Amino acid sequence: MLPVRLSSVRDAITPFLIACALVVVLQTQARAEDVAPVCDEYGLALLSTPHAPWKGAPLRVIFATEKPQDGALALISPSGKVAVQTSDRQGGPPYFWHAEIASPEAGTWQAKLTRQGAAPGCRDITRDIVVARKKPRGPGSSKAVWPLRDKWDRGNENLYAAWLQILFDAPLDEDLSWKALGEVLHNDSRNVLFNHLGLREDQTRATIRPDCADLPYFLRAYYAFKMGLPFGYANCTRGGGGKPPRCTKWWNVVKEEPAPMTKTARRKSRSNSLIRGAAASPARYRTPARPKGLVPGFQHY
């Protein structure tokens, strides 16, 4: 009797397991059908400037990608009209398109990148850009050196490379020369991030003159300041005597390096004796700390 009873149980369980398996398969297929095609491949990124667009400032857009696809970038006005369109793909890699509207009307604009050779559902990549009627307030202050709004990723690295190329772009047969980097950064036709924060931060005409060794770090810090990205540096020794360089401290926009102590010239002794007294020790004072939060001009850093 026992073998017959086990056989009956087995016959009853088998259809139940098959039914459960079919339910799992059907649910998996349904979830797969609900998922939209992934069009934003790794490294595709959009930069619109200023940080808070409004109708009183030019609207500039960079679309960057890592794939060498032909395509066109169009800026579409709130009324649905194509205000500007360009198929001039630059760089490589990253590859990017750049467009500008000198006086954008208020409303929701669209930056539309149409890529040739892309999958049917991924041919057009569209991003909304809201342009305000009145000038918005700039980014708020924070306890950091500047407010952090984003992080370094592949997209921001690509946009940084595109910004650099536009900043120093020129025909191959043209010999460019500037006396200082400030002449380039204060040129709104070259610097896509000119007054990006809405603080008139690039209109001070301050002298900006990093040397050759500092230039790569300066440019990255400037971009991080504009885009609200992290930035830091290490305090390292030069090494020597058979010992390698050693980095002991790390400073960044959240943990700022303390202001250094500064020595003034030695003061003369006020002694009236015939034997001239020893000179007084040099006065020492701490450089005034820069106010916390965002300041209108990168030269303050």
Domains of the chain: 45-131 (2.60.40.1930), 137-267+283-301 (no CATH)
Q: What is the pLDDT of residue 36?
A: 40
Residues recorded for the chain: 301
Q: What is the pLDDT of residue 154?
A: 93
Dist CA 296 CA 201 (whole Å):
5
Dist CA 13 CA 243 (whole Å):
73
Q: What is the pLDDT of residue 291?
A: 55
Dist CA 42 CA 64 (whole Å):
11
Q: What is the pLDDT of residue 4?
A: 44
Dist CA 254 CA 291 (whole Å):
14
Nearest to 75 by CA among 67, 86, 65, 64: 86
pTM score, whole prediction: 0.75
Dist CA 224 CA 144 (whole Å):
13
| Residues in the chain where the model's pLDDT stays below 70 | 1-40, 42, 141, 261-301
Q: What is the pLDDT of residue 262?
A: 62
CB-based burial label for 225 (10 Å; 0-12, 13-18, 19+): buried
Q: What is the pLDDT of residue 296?
A: 56
Dist CA 195 CA 213 (whole Å):
26
R_g over Cα of the chain: 30
